[in-house]
Every structure is written in C-alpha cells, then in structure tokens.
Amino acid sequence: MPFDGQPVLPAVRKVKDFEKLMKLPHTYIILLDCHISQLSQLVGMAKANSKKVLLHADLIEGLKNDEYAAEYLCQVIKPEGIISTRSGVITKTKQNGLLAIQRLFLLDTNALEKSYVLLERTRPDFIEVLPGVIPHIIAEVLQRTGIPIIAGGLIRSAEDVTQALRAGASAVTSSNLGLWNHQFS
C-alpha cells in the first residue's frame, strides 16, 4: 500500500507546524512554501525524525522550477520525492530515482484532456489531482491513466478525505492540522 498505508499526507507551510509534525507518527510529509536556505535543515530534521519528505518544487522560494533545480533537489537535498506541475521536473526526478508526483489543476474539461496528454509523456509515479473534492474525476483519472492518485486542494473535512479515498485516491494531502491525526477506516 502506498505511503505505508497513511491516508493523509500532512502538508506543512510554516516551520512551527513542521516542528509539530516531527512529534507525530506520520512517515510521509509534504513540505510546501519554504525558502531555499531552509531546505537542507528541514529535510535533515525530518530524516532525523524518520520522516520521508515530499518536496513541492514549485513552491520553494529562491529556486527556479526547472530541470536544473530538480537535479539539485534530487542530488543535494535528497527528499523522498518531488511534486511539480512541470513535466521537465517530473522527468528529471524520475531519472534520479525519486518519487515523481505530477500536480494537476483540473479547472475544466480542456485542462483535464491536456493533462491526459501530458501524463502519457511524463508517466509520473503518482498524480496529485486538485481540487481533490471531486470524487468522480478522481475515479476517472485513475481509470484512464492507471497511475495512482493523491487528492489535494480544498480538502476541509474528514468526509472529503473519505470520499476521495473511496473514489480511488491512494492518499489525500492536507494542510488542515485537524485532519492529520483523524482515524480513517
């Protein structure tokens, strides 16, 4: 089972929340919104606490989100995986043997169809579907691509998490601290 069976992948934006997360039992965590100067220290702290960090490359301040940045992240920072909307970053992440998570913003039918074309090229390890509160789209993307889904964005309640998981999502990302320790069956 992906992510050691962890249904919610805590997504942290603030160092204070990151520090709280170090005391929680989650293995996989997502690091959003940080500055490049903090990366090495934060990933090191996570590893020291037996956490596996998934970095959102698009949200790292001070780092251009391109293939060179992905190479730096993979070879120097060494997270467990990288999340990005950019196909070049996903490709470079896969080449370096890290988990590659393609983030998709599904705004309308046109965006969804373009995403299918992109996914044929990149073949990421996981797809993060945003918003993650549209269960029938989660099921469709999973069925059409065969690539495991992570649901994210606008996940506000335990019911949102449950619906995404029932629709076929392998996990759900959330920055809602109240959902991090909720028990899902």
Which pLDDT does position 77 carry in this prediction? 98
Q: Is residue 183 part of a domain?
A: no
CATH assignment at residue 92? 3.20.20.70
Please list the residues that pair with 82 across neighbouring strands: 55, 100
H helix count then E strand count, the chain: 8, 10
Asked if residue 137 belongs to a domain, the reply is yes
Global pTM?
A: 0.96
Q: Residue 56 and residue 7: Cα distance in Å, rounded?
A: 19
Name the domain count of the chain. Answer: 1
Q: Identify any residues that bridge with 30 across adjacent strands, giving them in sequence order.
A: 11, 54
Burial of 56 (0-12, 13-18, 19+ CB in 10 A): buried
**At residue 1, does pLDDT exceed 80?**
no
Chain segment 25-69, per-residue pLDDT in tens: 999 999 999 999 999 999 999 999 999 999 999 999 999 999 999
Rounded Cα–Cα distance for residues 60 and 37 (Å) = 10
Domain interval for residue 100: 2-178
